[in-house]
Amino acid sequence: MTFPPSSTDPSTSAASSSHQHQTTQQQHPGLETLDTKTSDESTPKQHSPQGISIPKCLQDAKIATLPSTAYYIPNFISPEEEDALLHKVSTAPKPRWKQLTHRRLQTWPSDLVNNKLIDAPLPTWLTDPVITRLMSIPVYSYDDKNLFVESPHKQPNHVLINEYPSGIGIMPHKDGAAYHPVVCTVSLGASLCLNIYQSKEDGALDPQPAFRILQEPRSLLITTDDLYTEFLHGIADIYEDTNLSETTVANWNLLRSSWSFKDGTNRRDIRTSLTYRDVIKVSNLGNKLGMFSKR
């Protein structure tokens, strides 16, 4: 990864777990259990296990105010799934963690070497439920093609886990050429704003974010196209996101709990993100050595 003006990397984060999501359960006349949210969002939902709300197709989750394609699903995983993922992350063997100056990260199945992944399976706790659920959502209602239909391996093969204490973010960067330009980020633990930056005509970074996307715990954010290739993204090193409103947050109408930010602030807490991507180049070295055959 490279940092400004043109860059690549893994992530950041923080936010407040006090923004609890409230749902009431209702029996649908059909088969499934529906979540009826008490907050002010409106995306039509399909249903599955408790606390999850999956749109019928990604168009229902599209962040309409952005110039390029992005989707936001607030209740992508349940509180129990969130706890289970956080437990797996925190109990991973110590050598799995790479400690940076202010945050730490894990890469699964491994680090890239010269932008290449050594072929190895992801552990089940990272594929199920996140990848299975992601693959089950069609992009459009009229056919069943999913988001990874054009990606080299037809699904994510790499997960970067970043843990951001409050006050810590990630510099504006681009994710670079190693990945297919579809990025799926599951947020755990707390909320924060992802900033989207543009370069100015002279190529320098405009330090003022062009857009902000608020990511709540248990949400899935998908960014693609120009958001991947043209814009930069980053997270500010702050303890509180401020000036949050319908006009300053691109995905305000899709939030689970916009009411909880109605004073315009989000106090950061530890946020962990899981970034799922398809690494374009994969080497079979691992298979040849029989390294990963028995997972």
| Phi, psi (degrees; rounded to nearest 5) at 223 | -120, 145
> Out of 16, 53, 157, 162, which residue is the one contacting ligand AKG (CB under 6 A)?
162
Size of the site for ligand AKG (CB under 6 A): 14
Q: Which residues contact 64 (CB under 8 A, 6 or more apart)?
A: none
Residue 38 Cβ vs ligand AKG, minimum distance, rounded to whole Å = 27
Over the window 272 to 291, marking each residue x when it contacts ligand AKG by CB under 6 A and - when it does not, the resulting string is -x-x----------------
Query: Which CB sits closer to ligand AKG, 89 or 170?
Result: 170
Over the window 254 to 273, marking each residue x when it contacts ligand AKG by CB under 6 A and - when it does not, the resulting string is -------------------x
Q: Which of Fe ion, ligand AKG, none does residue 194 bind to, with CB < 5 to 8 Å depending on kind?
A: ligand AKG
Enumerate binding residues for Fe ion (CB under 5 A).
Answer: 175
Q: Which residues contact 78 (CB under 8 A, 6 or more apart)?
A: 49, 50, 51, 52, 218
Asked if 187 contacts 271 with a C-beta cutoff of 8 angstroms, the reply is yes
Query: Which CB sits closer to ligand AKG, 69 or 273?
Result: 273
CA dihedral 277, 197, 241, 272 (to 10 degrees): 20
Query: Which residue is at the shortest CB distance from ligand AKG?
Result: 11
Shortest CA distance to 226 belongs to which of 183, 186, 279? 183
Length of the chain: 295
Over the window 13 to 42, marking each residue x when it contacts ligand AKG by CB under 6 A and - when it does not, the resulting string is x-----------------------------
Q: Which of ligand AKG, Fe ion, none does residue 209 bind to, with CB < 5 to 8 Å depending on kind?
A: none
Is 10 among the residues that bind ligand AKG (CB under 6 A)? Answer: yes
CA distance 209 to 234: 9
Alpha-carbon distances, residue 233 vs 62, 64, 215, 236 (angstroms): 18, 18, 13, 10
> How is residue 186 written in tokens?
């599951």
Query: Which CB sits closer to ligand AKG, 57 or 192?
Result: 192
> Out of 117, 182, 194, 213, which residue is the one contacting ligand AKG (CB under 6 A)?
194
CA dihedral 194, 199, 200, 202 (to 10 degrees): 160
> How is residue 31 written in tokens?
């088969």
CA distance 286 to 295: 12
Cβ atoms within 10 Å, residue 289: 10
> Out of 78, 155, 185, 260, which residue is the one contacting ligand AKG (CB under 6 A)?
185
Query: Which CB sits closer to ligand AKG, 137 or 214?
Result: 214
Q: Interface residues for ligand AKG in 64-83 (CB under 6 A)?
A: none
Q: Which of ligand AKG, Fe ion, none does residue 160 bind to, with CB < 5 to 8 Å depending on kind?
A: ligand AKG
Residue 239 per-residue DSSP state: S
What residue ranges bind ligand AKG (CB under 6 A)?
9-13, 160, 162, 170, 175, 185, 194, 233, 273, 275
